[in-house]
Structure 1
Amino acid sequence: MTQPGPSHTERVMWLRLARTRGLGAIGFARAIAHYGNAADAIDDLPARARSAGRRVLEIPPPEAAEAELEQIGRLGARLITGLDPDYPALLAAIPGPPPTLVVRGDLSLLDRPACAMVGARNASAVGLRFARELANGLGREDIVVVSGLARGIDGAAHAGAIDSGTIAVLAGGIDHIYPPEHAELHARLAEDGLLLSEVPLGQAPTARDFPRRNRLISGLALGTLVVEAALRSGSLITARYAAEQGREVMAVPGSPLDPRARGSNQLLRDGAHLIESVEDVLDILSKARCPEPPAHGLEDLPPEALGDLFDDDEPSRAADGDAPTDTRSLPALDRLRALLSPSPVSGDELARAADLPVGEVQAMLMEMEMSGEIATLPDGLVQRRRQS
């Protein structure tokens, strides 16, 4: 028998507490564990803040929560709270799960086994192809692919799994399209996949929002697979969250000559599972075990463990790869260079990945070969030469 969800009043109170500035996901969980419900927490927290010498606590009024719910409904989206029986069980099991989720699309994807797939924004053409192939293969086995809709590996993973099921976790509101060139993919995900975020509609992401998003990407999945990642990148943050959440960590090995593979190769040295095929991923996921979620995803914390409810306890990890980058604004030759790696690739595939005419790409490759920047193999594939 399906458990009933919260009443409208409970939903409004929960949303008001969730949107209280400075409370944070862990502070929210502690408040609910201590007070038992959002309404009592809202009644008492302002006094607690004053006695703690904090500034006035900014709890949104009921009208603001009602307006947000109405806005979500107009978009054809839905607010899922920690009180709802269909709150994702795997996400509920992470420390400090998001109190609310704004979702749009196919909600049944949250009930299927999932694998997170992340990697470099400035991915190589070979990496992009492999990510698409892996995502497509996982989809054929009924595995949902979770990623962050960023450029590079994220976009390739979503594209490869769009027909079978994929979830995009966004750092901003689900109605904020970023990057702009993913507008069509964003629209397709809203219909055939699922868009998910913990922040309100209309909110543009800031640098600190990307690590917060990363913990949700790993939290929704049985395991996280890194395809390409530099030593300092948001993908490695996602992998660290996965390990801390008790999930499987997997990585695709890359050439030691390619800086984009150093982070993923480091993960392998640190004990991540080596992935060379869809079958490798399926084998790891079949053995994955995740913690049992507590009720509503909230820890039953004793009063002495409350600590300071008002600390801003949101994830604050940073890495070079967290900040949005736009390689499409680069000159054509630099865009082509960014896709080349020591792994052989065809000119046609480079043209597709760079969104450039094949003839223009072939001309640039000829110049790069004459200058010694690349090597052309007997089968016509090209690879970047090792820098001396």
Structure 2
Amino acid sequence: MQASTLVQLGITGLLAACLPLSMVWMSADANKYRKLVWVAAFLTFDLIVFGGFTRLTDSGLGCPDWPGCYGLANPFLAHEQISAAQAAMPTGPVTHVKAWIEMIHRYLAMGIGVLIITLMTKAWLQWRRSHERAFAPLMPTLLFGFVCLQGAFGAWTVTLKLQPIIVTTHLLLGMTLLALLVWLGGREDNIIKPLPADPRPAGLFAVRRLALLSAAVLAVQLFLGGWVSTNYATLACSDFPACNGSVVPPMDFEHGFTLWRELGKTAAGHYLPFSALTAIHWVHRNFALVVLVVLGATAARAWPHAGLRPTARRMALVLGLQVMSGIATVFLSFPLAIAVLHNAGAALLVILVTMLNYKAKHQLAVAQAPSRQEPTPASLQP
């Protein structure tokens, strides 16, 4: 790829970041750093949702090279090459619409990368000047590392032709990036307005353990959901609650959960049997019951605590909607809008479980801290 193309792509990334950076700069919020954290988190959520749309519309190879499109900076410049590919295969992976979907996804990712570089730079500069806890640079630096790793997996997603384990890992890294930004945002919010001490501290330890368990269970389900999507196994079970008319249909777990293989192929290079897709879907569907029980129990235990109740309420609501959207995807034979909403629901659960973990951790630390007693005046000491 020519250096001029890389420069054009870099300028595009900067332009994609200009609007959110301008919004932060012109915001009435005096704490621009905190504002930037939450703007980056919001856009990362948007990127995950749009990434799901890119995957669900089969646009992941809309531009079959990386980071540009046929070695050029945008689909306008690659119009001739895209037209030729579309003429040869009108319903294939490369069309003008799919090329733009894929490149918009990349442009948004580059813009978020610029925001996180700005965040890290701001943190280091302020930390060297003041050593204020609000600007502790470890987390912003970790975010920068995740962005670089995420970019690498984005490149491998294309160059390895949508290999399922690469695409699934790309999704999980995006969710992890979102969780880290939300955790950092929680820290910044707490520095400005500390969470009050919980009047019922006795149950916080149980809530904290359940919140950690919820995060682990949700991570497993995110992998399983990504594995369903990247293997195109969404409609492998055509009914609900049964799967193809049976509670336990014929399934091929060995081929379905072989991680390193091409899309649609077994590790030996043969076509993936339908029973393998059924196994992938069936496991994701049944593990959703575990997620429902664990996250529901967590929300119920957190509900009595005033500082945790709003997050618990939202988590219960999103969990219910997520279950309904998953069922609707099967009943309505995979409508695109419902599938995208299901992907968005997963990202919202990541946000809420992360927030609940942060708040429970902080309030437990406050409850366990030794109480400070006022010093007795010397005149009153015995």
Shorter-chain TM-score: which interval? under 0.3
TM-score (norm: length of structure 1)? 0.23
TM-score (norm: length of structure 2)? 0.23
More helix by share: 2
Structure having the higher Rg:
2
More strand by share: 1
